[in-house]
């Protein structure tokens, strides 16, 4: 329920309670007038359009990008320099989905630039892919302050854009980089380690989950070696599936 409607209902209840506590048998006229005003307010709120990315049905990719550029559905619009819609092939077999833009991405309006972008480019090259062959985007299109994890309501507001991108670009494979994108798409609270290691069905597409490059960059020494091994295992799984799908599409 809309929080404003909820608040209005609580206001009405407290008016009734107040009258009861004051030992009144009837609701005073002033209370009744207030209740009628609140009722009208609730009706207005019910009729006003909901603040989510609805009406995306007949939207094409360019229009969607424009909608994202102008979007003010969540608080993150206030602090952004640029929205980051994503970039790459318009007919990708593979889509990569990260969490949210960071500082560099916000400045440039492009996904995965800076250090984590360099690592992602290397990861793709290691399995024979260039950035322009895939589509790279994120769940959230505006930078959260100080790169904090996006909040639930921000993910809910922004997710329809990603779902529309998936529908329009029609990738057969999706690589989720980090737990945030995996949880948002797979509607789960499971840990990243339990989501890794196998493909998940997503409306007939396959989702694979691996570490976010920024996470890998946080470590050094033996922990980094271990994480790199695991990421390499994920990438090899992805490469096998990618080649299989490519071959099937060519035949």
Q: What's the chain's length in residues?
A: 251
Residue among 141 and 183 whose Cβ is closer to ligand SF4: 141
Among 15, 74, 97, 207, binds ligand SF4 (CB under 6 A): 74
Q: For ligand SF4, which residue of 15, 120, 134, 140 counts as binding (CB under 6 A)? A: 140
84 binds ligand SF4 (CB under 6 A): no
Position among 142, 179, 214, 237 found at the interface with ligand SF4 (CB under 6 A): 142
Residues paired with 209 in a beta bridge:
176
CB of residue 96 vs ligand SF4: minimum separation in angstroms?
Answer: 18
Query: Which whole-number Å values give the CA distances from 125 to 118, 120, 133, 244, in the listed order?
Result: 11, 9, 11, 18
Interface of this chain with ligand SF4, residues 44 to 73, rule: CB under 6 A: 68, 71-73
Per-position x/- string for 154-173, each x denoting binding to ligand SF4 as judged by CB under 6 A, each - no binding: x--xx---------------
Other beta carbons within 10 Å of 176: 28
Helix (H, G, I), strand (E, B) or coil at 112: coil
For residue 60, CA distances in Å to 75, 109, 138 come to 25, 20, 18
Shortest distance, CB of residue 156 to ligand SF4, whole angstroms?
9
* Region of 58-66, 104-112, 136-144, 240-248 interacting with ligand SF4 (CB under 6 A): 136-144
Query: Would you say 129 or 184 has its CB closer to ligand SF4?
Result: 184
Closest CA to 5 of 33, 49, 30, 41: 41
Q: How far apart are CA 28 and CA 15, in angstroms?
A: 10
Asked if residue 82 binds ligand SF4 (CB under 6 A), the reply is: no
By CB under 6 A, residue 139 contacts ligand SF4 = no
Are 135 and 87 in contact by the 8 Å Cβ rule? The answer is yes
* Shortest CB 158 distance to ligand SF4, Å: 3
Helix axes of 3-21 and 29-47: crossing angle, nearest 10 degrees: 170
Of 83 and 181, which has the nearer Cβ to ligand SF4?
A: 83
Judged on CB neighbours under 10 Å (0-12, 13-18, 19+), 159 is middle
Q: Quick check: 95 binds ligand SF4 (CB under 6 A)?
A: no
If binding means CB under 6 A, how many residues of this protein chain bind ligand SF4?
A: 14
Edge-to-edge strands of the sheet including 87-88?
A: 87-88, 135-138, 94-98, 173-177, 205-210, 200-202
> CB 141 → ligand SF4: shortest distance, Å?
4
Query: 135: which strand partners?
Result: 88, 95
76 binds ligand SF4 (CB under 6 A): yes
Rule CB under 6 A: which residues touch ligand SF4? 68, 71-74, 76-77, 83, 140-142, 154, 157-158
């Amino acid at each position: 329920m809309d929080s404003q409607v909820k608040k209005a209902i609580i206001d009405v209840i407290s008016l009734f309670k107040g009258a009861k506590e004051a030992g009144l048998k009837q609701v005073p006229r002033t209370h009744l007038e207030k209740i009628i005003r609140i009722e009208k307010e609730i009706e207005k709120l019910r009729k006003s359009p909901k603040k989510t990315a609805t009406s995306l049905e007949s939207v094409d990719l360019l229009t969607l990008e424009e909608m994202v550029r102008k979007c003010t559905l969540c608080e993150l619009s206030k602090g952004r320099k640029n929205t980051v819609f994503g970039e790459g092939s318009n007919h990708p077999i593979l889509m990569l989905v990260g969490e949210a833009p960071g500082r560099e991405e916000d400045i440039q309006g492009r996904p995965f630039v800076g250090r984590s972008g360099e690592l992602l480019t290397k990861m793709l090259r290691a399995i024979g892919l260039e950035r322009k062959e895939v589509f790279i985007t994120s769940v959230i299109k505006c930078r959260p302050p100080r790169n904090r994890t996006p909040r639930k309501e921000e993910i809910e507001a922004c997710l329809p854009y990603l779902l529309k991108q998936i529908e329009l670009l029609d990738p057969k494979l999706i690589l989720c980089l980090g737990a945030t994108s995996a949880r948002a798409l797979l509607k789960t609270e499971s840990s990243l380690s339990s989501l890794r290691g196998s493909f998940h069905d997503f409306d007939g597409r396959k989702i694979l989950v691996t570490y976010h490059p920024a996470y890998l960059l946080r470590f050094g020494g033996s922990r980094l070696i271990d994480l790199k091994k695991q990421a390499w295992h994920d990438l090899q799984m992805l490469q096998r599936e990618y080649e299989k799908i490519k071959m099937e599409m060519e035949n």
